Structure 1
Amino acid sequence: MLDKFREGAQGPAAKIILGVVILSFALAGVGGYLGSSTEEPAAVVNGEDISRQELETAYQQERSRVEQQYGESFAAIAADPSFAQQLRSNALQKLVSERLTDQAIDELGLRVSDEQIKNSIRSMPEFQRDGKFDNDTYLAVLRQSGIQAEQFPEMLRQDMTRRQLLQAYLSSEISLPSEALQIYRLQAQQREVRQLNIAVTPFLDKVSVSEQELDEYYQENKDAFQHPEQVNLEYVLLDKAALSEGITLEEGAVAAYYEANQANYKAPEKRRVAHILVDINQDDAEQAAQDLLAKVQAGDDFAELAKNFSSDTFSGENGGELDWFEQGVMDPDFEAAAFALEQVGDTSEVVKSEFGYHIIKLLEVEADAAAPLADVEDKIAATLKHDQAMEVFYDKLQKLSETAFEVPDSLTEAADAAGLKVQQTGLFSRATAEGEFAEQVVLAQAFSESLREEQLNSEVIELTPEKVMVIRVTDYKPQQVKTLDEVKPELELRLQREKALTAANDYADALMAKLAQGVDVTAELEEAQLSFTELTTVSRMDPGASPEVARTVFTLAKPKENEIVRSKVTLMNGDVSIVELHKVIEVAADTVPSDTETSQLSQFIQNTQADTSYQALLKLLQARAEISYPKAE
């Protein structure tokens, strides 16, 4: 995208300036080596630091993953004061595990070659266009993800070596046919259950929360109630699409371009053929096709042969005739033979395709010809506007970049030089960023410590090849604890619900005790407007409407004859359910899995065993490692 801009950096004056810049960077680098960061790491693993920036990045990624997983329910989950703390702790432990794994990989000498990295990148569908690797797509995807092109191969190398270690465990695991059979029987097992759902809501009116309880809970969990860090940005946005809207073409420009470039607007050659098809599944299909070809060459009517013998009965009714087509549409072998025919009336030899054996007759040819101006003028106009917009874009980009660098403490002059305007975002956090500002490449700059403290213009941030921006932090609010008054309504509702849940659990425990003693609770349930559901059959493969209930049901012991086994479950919506297991239905003794099912189950067992071994390795590495978690100053 920046090739045209870079051309301006090749002159003698630019090289002198570049030398000064390099010298300043070199001196700054020496200062960096002499000094050291005062920021405490989030963790130290065998002498290697995990920075707080790494933790913050991992936390944001994990938060985004959970948000995508739970969708609209995420807001309710995130409202829990302990959510952020637990998520951050999980992210840190994952980083520690990865660092331990990487250290073990170095010790074992596992390696992934550069060629393996290249092949892996080329094969990723995210980086392909029309089934082939496309470098522009590759760079665009990385840019949208906020990843530098030089960083990605090393990130992939790290991931592949970790998978190499896991594969070593996977390939060493075995499973026995008896284990696969046992898993199959467990999966096929069914259980008859019923449940009594006890809503928490009716208990809310029966509990209250005191001011003292609110204050105590707040003091104990103060760190969980945080205003995230926020920034306010000035920015200048340069968008080629916006420039295109203001471009008006001169009269006659489209016609002049058409005359000069007619060769680019030729309609491709089209052909119309007839064919006789012998289905590939027919006995002696190729010989049958050769026999039909002999009849064609002997002078038999092609249309009659197609009507009587072609497996393509639809076209056969019309003498085997097909619609007009151009190259790139039909089966490659069929198409090659059709376009190899020179004269109308010529027939091909027997041609094999994925459908069968064809004999092709050329009926008509429509030669390539220039498309009329009326058919392509809109396309030409769009091309001309795009080209003009890109000329303006590159001109403004150079002026914006140069002035933003030369006058680093203000965006006004850079905006004026490029004929653009300075805009404001208003305060936003990483979580509330929208549009272009939610892109990782922008967030990384907006929340960088250097840009914030120096309040200088950023470098040109490339959002797409045709859209860039320069930003400057004008205001910053650090992360800070919310006051009790700010979180009081949320806390009161939370504590009230916790008490109501406790009351609902106590009520459920009392009911279960009565049921275990054989007490008839029908009248009590009717008074509370509660009732058990009808008996339902569930399986591990078909858990029904409540997967959390099914998970509990399949942990319960098999009931004896005329016995009911009960348990209590907290549902995903926060309510409580009493679950009764009435019967276990085993699969018939003579039922066995198919070979395919046995293979799949064996692979599942091996994967499970490999994961267990890998987790055991991590625990061993943790036990042997020196891990510390320094507190932030």
Structure 2
Amino acid sequence: MMQFIRDHSNSLWAKILLVGVGVSLAGIGGTQIFSGPSADTVATVNGAKVSLQEVEAQYQQLLNANAQNGDVTEEIQRQYRLIARQDLIQRRAMDSQIKEWKIRASDRSVAEEIVSIPSFQKDGVFDQETYKTALFYSGYSIEGFEDAIRRDVEERIVREAFVNSAFVSNNELQEQIAFLGQKRDLEVATFNYLDDLESVAVSENEIKKQYEENIAQYKTPNLVKLQYVELEANALKAEDQSYSAAEIQEEADKLKKQDEQRLSEQFTIEYSTDSEKQEAMDILADLKERIESGAMTFDEAKAEIAQIDNAYYNRNGNFKYGAAGIPEFDDALFELTEEAPFSTPFSTGGEVHLVHLLNISTPYNDDAALLAAAEKSLKENAVADLYMTKEARMQELAETYTESLGEIAQDLGLELKETDWLNLDSQEDLLGNASVWAAVSGYDVMENGRNSLPFAFNDQTNHAMIVRIADKEESRSKSLEESYEEIKAELAKNRAKEETMNRVNAMLEAGDTQNFQNDIEQLGFSYNQYNDLAITSVGQLQTKPVEQYAISNGFQKIHHLEDGKPQYLVEDVDGYIFVVAVNKINVGEAEGFTDEDRAQLQEYLDGREASFEYQALMQYLFNNSKIKLYNNSFFQ
């Protein structure tokens, strides 16, 4: 896709998108909120449950996807949580419609989707045990996960139908080219009014009045202390053990087979009867004998194979053992040596093969390095075995001791750890970890004060935890004294913003456009000027993100100049007031767009149009579904 489309995916545009999504969340306020049936359910859509665990996972994905955007404020985090819930609610509504339309993804398409997921692959190939283990530590059953994948595939079928039917007219294409191609002369100024709040005068009477009029909003957070035990493989130490030369050599043979990569080529002859199979065996055995004796070269053998209708030559990839997925081929290839590089002809269901080893690559420099790695592997395997034994014991103990962790810690030889007071509402410190939060927020732990079940910390297979709430402190109204500094900072912030806005507006109303730079710098703003700037270049500017955001808003919100006079945009975002002065707009022309650019832009716009239509459908389904939201502190 063209560079301007790539530019639009940076953090600046992500913030603009967040604003747009925030608008769509406005409708959720009108949905009735109920007392929850359980701590795990945050909503139901046409009777289908949306769990807290699902929302937390979606929320974590949003945080990870926007990690590069710098500081994520508490308000943005709250927006992300609401976005995560909204997304899942809309998906449930879509699920209901898909059922009504009788759309069902085939078992084959679901299987193809699953085997393509890298997390379930080993050495680039889908591995059933890896799949089962990953689902276990993610808290999924196989059936539940496959149902979720089926829903994803079915939703994709609907989305693709919109993409295939979407069309943007040539007029719209020309308008977009004109916008993307236009150049602007503009000035931008930014001011952080949070920098010096200490100097903003706020009287005690104002603080007292604010407290008395808004006493309900000044509360202490809900606090908890956590107790936990954690079992980590890297903290375990197996008993010192020496290994015999035979044991080390056996492990070395395994590592060599496991870590080596082999490049090869082969002749293959297809057959359909036993007599054809034997004939193919004889042909390839004869070729091998003549090549090895020097009677013919490999290239001559290739030419001879090319004359046989049901035979062919191919060069194989650089495979590890098992990567080809054909045991007979793997065994034949990895039995070869550089001294004897040709296999005996062998068959694999309908084909006979002769494999030629071309190269062996290994991570081990020599036999000594391989043997050292083998001894290290034996020790690591001993620790892994010890970990698995202790993890199984942890599970057993968790089912016996549900009201305390002391017995579990003592039996496993683990330290019983305890946190300081943590803010439950903002999920402070350890509570901010998704796997810990999922365990703590469960009904048994949160409401009944019991131990959680063992869980995989951060979905790691070698780090298990059990957690409980050791103590709780419920939220209460704060006194004026306790709220004093918070209210003072709040009033100072609002006053600083208001006073700065008033000074900017007064300056602009004076209409002295020639002295904009001098006047705005007199107010303490940082200033930059850009000439012939295109919207597609904003993301490449070497400046602060807030300035990029301001310039983009100037492009988006100022469409033309009246009588050629400068137009101004004044806005506040994340503690910054910015002013954008657009002084000149040169309308974009089509000359800079090649036919390939036009085709790519058309594809992009068609896709965007399809996205708008799909979102409209989602909103319609949302508005016409039976939705119940349940109170949960996660969204506060």
TM-score, length basis structure 2? 0.66
Is the Cα contact below 8 Å between 1:341 and 1:348 reproduced in 2?
A: yes
Equivalence map 1:128-277=2 (5 Å): 128-142=121-135, 145-198=138-191, 200=193, 204=197, 207-211=200-204, 213-214=206-207, 220=214, 222=216, 227-228=221-222, 230-235=224-229, 237-243=230-236, 245-250=237-242, 253-258=243-248
- Give the C-alpha shift of residue 541 in structure 1: 0.5
Distance verdict in 2 for CA 1:373–1:248, change over 3 Å = farther
The equivalent of 1:348 in structure 2 is 298
**CA shift in 2, pair 1:327/1:154, >3 Å:** closer
1:477-516 to 2 correspondence within 5 Å? 477=473, 485-515=481-511
* C-alpha separation in 2, matches of 1:499 and 1:340: 93
Question: AA paired with 2:584?
Answer: K
Instruction: Please give the per-residue CA displacement for 1:464-486, whole angstroms capped at 9, x wherever unaligned.
Output: 44443444443344566666555
Deviates more, 1:203-212 or 1:545-554: 203-212
Instruction: Give the superposition deviation at 1:166.
Output: 2.6
The 1:91–1:384 alpha-carbon spacing in structure 2 relative to 1, beyond 3 Å, is: closer
- Cα 1:584–1:196 change in 2 (3 A) is same
* 2:584 equivalent in structure 1: 583
Whole-angstrom CA distance in 1 between matches of 2:95 and 2:296:
67
Higher relative contact order (CA 8 A, sep 6+): 2
* Residue 59 (structure 2) pairs with residue 62 (structure 1): yes
Q: Which amino acid aligns with 1:347?
A: T
Secondary structure in structure 2 of the residue aligned to 1:74: coil
Deviations along 1:38-67, one digit per CA (max 9) or x if unpaired, are 779755655x3766x53x852674376247
Alpha-carbon distance, 1:565 to partner:
2.3
Amino acid at match of 2:235: A
Distance 2:54 2:201 in 1: 40
Q: Give the whole-Å Cα distance in 1 for the aligned partners of 2:57 and 2:475.
A: 15
1:542: Cα distance to partner?
0.8
Q: 1:183 to 1:392 in 2, by over 3 A?
A: closer
In structure 2, give the amino acid aligned to 1:163.
R
CA shift, 1:105, in A, is 2.1
SS at match of 2:93: helix
Report the residue type matching 2:102 in the other structure. G
Matched-pair contact (CA < 8 Å) for 1:173–1:610: yes
Counterpart in the other structure of 2:613: 613
CA contact (8 A) 1:44 1:629 kept: yes
Match of 1:384 in 2: 378
Letter in 2 for 1:575: Y
By how many angstroms is 1:580 displaced?
Answer: 2.4
Q: Partner of 1:445: helix, strand, or coil?
A: helix
**Deviation (angstroms), 1:130:** 2.7
Q: Secondary structure at the match of 1:232?
A: strand
Indicate yes or no: 2:600 matched with 1:604.
no
Once superposed, what is the RMSD of the aligned Cα atoms? Answer: 4.7
Q: Is the 8 A contact 1:187 1:540 kept in 2?
A: yes
The AA in structure 2 aligned to 1:170 is: V
Pair 532,148 (structure 1): closer, same or farther in 2 beyond 3 Å: same
State the distance in 1 between where 2:632 and 2:192 align: 43
CA contact (8 A) 1:214 1:491 kept: yes
Q: How does 1:321-360 map to 2 (within 5 A)?
A: 328=261, 330=263, 332=265, 341-342=291-292, 347-349=297-299
Q: Which moved more, 1:440-449 or 1:398-407?
A: 398-407
Q: What is the rounded CA distance, in whole Å, between the counterparts of 1:372 and 1:133 in structure 2?
A: 31
Return the letter of the residue paired with 1:584.
Answer: I
* Alignment partners' CA distance in 2, 1:224 and 1:160: 47
Instruction: Give the C-alpha shift of residue 171 in structure 1.
Output: 2.0
Gaps of 5+ in 1: 1-35, 269-325, 355-363
Q: Is the 8 A contact 1:144 1:439 kept in 2?
A: no
Secondary structure class of the residue paired with 2:585: strand
Q: Hey, what does 2:277 align to over in structure 1? A: none
Hey, what's the Cα distance between the residues in 2 that align with 1:396 and 1:525? 67
Q: What's the CA shift for 1:625? A: 4.2
1:266 to partner: Cα distance: 7.4
Preserved CA contact (<8 Å) 1:548 1:571: no
Contact 1:128 1:134 in 2 (8 A): yes
- Paired residues in the alignment total 516
Q: State how far apart, in whole Å, the 2-side matches of 1:489 and 1:380 are.
A: 62
State the partner residue of 1:4. Answer: none
* Cα distance change on mapping 1:508 and 1:50 into 2, 3 Å: farther
Query: The residue matched to 2:598 in structure 1 has which SS?
Result: helix
- TM-score, with normalisation over the residues of structure 1? 0.67
Q: What is the rounded CA distance, in whole Å, between the counterparts of 2:296 and 2:164 in structure 1? A: 59
Classify the secondary structure of the residue corresponding to 1:621.
helix
CA distance in structure 1 between the partners assigned to 2:77 and 2:567 by the alignment? 35
After TM superposition, give the deviation of residue 85 of structure 1 in Å: 5.6
In the alignment, the residues of structure 2 paired with residue 59 and residue 461 of structure 1 have an alpha-carbon distance, to the nearest angstrom, of: 16
How far is 1:540 from its partner?
Answer: 1.5
Matches of 2:472 and 2:132 in 1, distance apart? 31
1-structure distance, mates of 2:629, 2:402: 38
Instruction: Please state if 1:569 is matched with 2:570.
Output: yes
After superposition, the C-alpha distances for 1:166-203 in whole angstroms (9 at most, x for unaligned) are: 32322221233443333223211111112344553688
The separation in 1 between residues aligned to 2:255 and 2:624, in whole angstroms, is 71
State the 1:424 CA deviation.
3.5
Structure 1's 118 and 605: CA in aligned 2 closer, same or farther, altered over 3 A?
same
Cα deviation for residue 588 of structure 1 reads 4.2
Task: Quote the Cα distance in structure 2 between the aligned partners of 1:473 and 1:489.
Answer: 30
Structure 2 unmatched runs, 5+: 1-35, 268-283, 303-312, 316-336, 342-359
Report if aligned partners of 2:290, 2:296 keep a CA contact under 8 Å in 1. no
Any idea what the Cα deviations from partners look like across 1:7-54, whole Å, max 9, x if unmatched?
xxxxxxxxxxxxxxxxxxxxxxxxxxxxx94779755655x3766x53
- Mapped partners of 1:171, 1:373: distance in 2: 58
Q: Name the CA distance, whole Å, in 2 between partners of 1:465 and 1:628.
A: 36
CA shift in 2, pair 1:413/1:594, >3 Å: same
- Matched residue SS, 1:209: coil
Amino acid at match of 2:439: Q
Distance 2:116 2:479 in 1: 52
**Residue 539 (structure 1) aligned with residue 521 (structure 2):** no
State how far apart, in whole Å, the 1-side matches of 2:215 and 2:223 are: 19
CA distances 1:132-165 after superposition (whole Å, capped 9, x unpaired): 2233443454456554444322222223323333
Which of 492-501 and 401-410 deviates more? 401-410
CA contact (8 A) 1:232 1:474 kept: yes
In structure 2, do the counterparts of structure 1 residues 104 and 528 end up closer, same or farther at CA, with 3 Å as the change threshold? closer
Counterpart residue identity of residue 153, structure 1: E
CA 1:619–1:340 in structure 2 vs 1: closer, same or farther (change >3 Å)? farther
The separation in 2 between residues aligned to 1:609 and 1:394, in whole angstroms, is 52
